[in-house]
Structures are given as C-alpha cells and as structure tokens.
Amino acid sequence: MSADVPPTPAAGAPDDGEIAAVRERLLAFYDARRRDLPWRADTDPYRVWVSEVMLQQTRVDAAIPYYERWMQRFPTLTALADADIDEVLRHWQGLGYYARARNLHRAARVLRERHHGRIPADPDALRRLPGIGDYTAGAIASIAFGIPAAAVDGNVRRVLCRLYDLPDPTPAELRRRAAALVPDERPGDFNQALMELGATLCTPRTPRCDDCPVATWCRARARGTTHQRPATGPARTVPEHDVGTAVVRTPAGRLLLRRRPEEGMLGGLWEFPGAEPRDGETPAAAAARAARSCAVRDPIPDGALGSITHTFTHRRITYHAYRFRVDAEPAAMVESRRRARPRGTPAGEDDAVAWVELAGLDAYALPAAQRGIVGMLEG
C-alpha cells in the first residue's frame, strides 16, 4: 500500500486522532500483508512463548525449522518440563544464545510446580519467570491473552524511533510510546503489526517508505532523518581470543568431552576440553593442560587437527584443535549423563566428563565451533 507525501506532522505528542489513524492503518496492513508463520496458527500461550523466545536474536526464516522440530518433541509445557536439559539443548543446537533454552526449561518447571502448569496472563507474573523480560511478557500477554500490553523488540524500536523521530530514546520512553498506541481491541495483532512493519518495510538500511501504511505520520520521513533513526554508536572492537583444544582419543576410538558449567557462555553444553594459553604458553600446551584437567594423566600428542574461528556477541575465539591419544581405556567410561543416556550406553561416574564414539556425538549438544571440530574429524 502507498501513502501520499505527508505534511510535516506535529512536533509534539500524537493526539487521539493520530493514534486512532495509526492503529487503523497498521491493523489493516497486518490483515493484508502478514506473513504465514507457523506460530500464528493459533494463540496458545505456550506456542506464543516459545516462538517469541526463539525469535530473540534469530531471523524468522532461521527460527521456523527449529520451532517446528521443537513442537514435535515438546508439544506442551508439561512435555518441556519433563524433559532432560540435555535433550532441550540438543533441540536448540544451532540457534545460539543457549541461555534462552535453559531459561525456557527452568520456567516450564516453575510453571509446573507453582502455577499448575498454566502460563499466567498477567505481565508482572510473566516477568517473574526465568528469561522473560518486558518485551516477552508484553508479547505473550497481548497475543495469547488479548491484554493491551506493549511489546518493544528491535523492529518495534526502529519503527517508533522513526515514527516519532527519536534519535536515542530510553527503553522506558519507548515502552511509554508503545503503550499509548496499543489498542484495547486486538492488542496482539497490533503488536505483531508493528513487528511486521519493522521486519518487512521499515528495515534498517533500505526502508520502503512509499509502501509504509503510517508514512503520513512519520516524523523522521518528513524531516529527512529516516536513515539516522535510531542513532547508532561507534562500532565496537571485538576482542580476539585463542583456545588450545584437546581432541583426545582412546585405543577403542572414544573421544573425550566435558560439560561446560551451567552458568556463563554456552552453559550446559558439551565441548572438547580447551584452555586459553597462559603467558608464554603455546596453544598446543594449553590443550594438553585442558586434557589433564579432565583426569587424562599422560595425553600423547598426535599432531594438529586444524583451527576454527567463531564470533560471539562480544568476542571472537579461534579454537586450535590438537590430537592426543591415550594408551589405555579410562577406568570410568562415561558415555552419557545420569538421565537420558543414549540407548545401550552405561552410566558413568562423572557427569562432567564423557568418552564418546565419533558416531555417538550427535547425542550431545555441541556449540557450533565444536561441531566444526567434529566435521574435521569426520573429514
């Protein structure tokens, strides 16, 4: 849809007539142009919640196959609460930002224990659950329960910054602006219309202003500041890190994995043991030290395997992988965790360490860089 070149909108706060017109145009836009996405098939609170969490830091087209597989395995909140965290992380594997999956699992268990397995409609109650902040609480409350609550994600922030020509508003100001717009009728559709507008038309670099349903009221368009809204800060320098990574193999071909601590980056996932080199230490020596930290007494160097660089949000890490071998099978063969072990494998003594055949690595949730190391082994 198109709009005429607008007169300059009023500089102050929008009046009731403008708010009503923006609501009407956005809902009409949503009815006509909304994408057919699997989580829009119904407004089941659990499905809304999972989709909104998956869409944080993830593009829609990347999230769709994960959402569909998730719903096949964990179709209800109870199914998620009953699942083992390792299986939850495996189904999240590849989406990144794994704290989202851990918080989904924790919140499902809280809901089962304290809320009779029901997701509350109240935004304040939602915000008390692990991993649910202002945006997710507003999205669930409005989409699943029809409560007029604001939901400001990155796309909505950009739309509001341009609509009101705001260079760098505080989160509180954006929530206030959004709350003033959300109607009592169809609040969930309205919030999704704002998200849809930001995702499809009001994009960061090439906004399609001529097709925008609310261009008439867009102050940034009228003042020629569209490409400056929202303002961006200077590019951050991403620190570089090296990690010596030990790929230790037994005579029977089992490989050593260790589980990362639950808290922190990539918490709860499995990895080949690794360590950052100390002053004067080579990556190979750091890798051997990491192997010894997993009770491998005398890892025998067996050559370099290769290197993989992975960029996280705040750092870039190069994993230098080295082969090691041991002359005997470890006394405590751990091929799985206490719960949800792959069929036919024995329980071990230490859930933080696992010795796994190459073909069995698919049963473990591994971060992207670790899967790259597996690819080098397979290749």
| Active-site residue list | 52
Under 8 Å between Cβ of 376 and 306: yes
Distance (Å) of CA 19 to CA 24, 30, 147, 216? 9, 16, 18, 12
The Cα–Cα gap between 314 and 207 comes to 28
Q: In the 8-state DSSP scheme, what is residue 67? A: H
Q: How far is CA 68 from CA 43, 75, 84, in A?
A: 16, 10, 19
Q: How far apart are CA 296 and CA 311, in angstroms?
A: 29
Residue whose token pair is 């341009």 = 162
Strands (E), the chain: 240-249, 254-259, 270-271, 274-275, 300-311, 316-325, 353-357
Bridge partners of 322? 246, 304
In terms of residues, how long is the chain?
A: 379
Helix then strand count (H, E) for the chain reads 14, 7
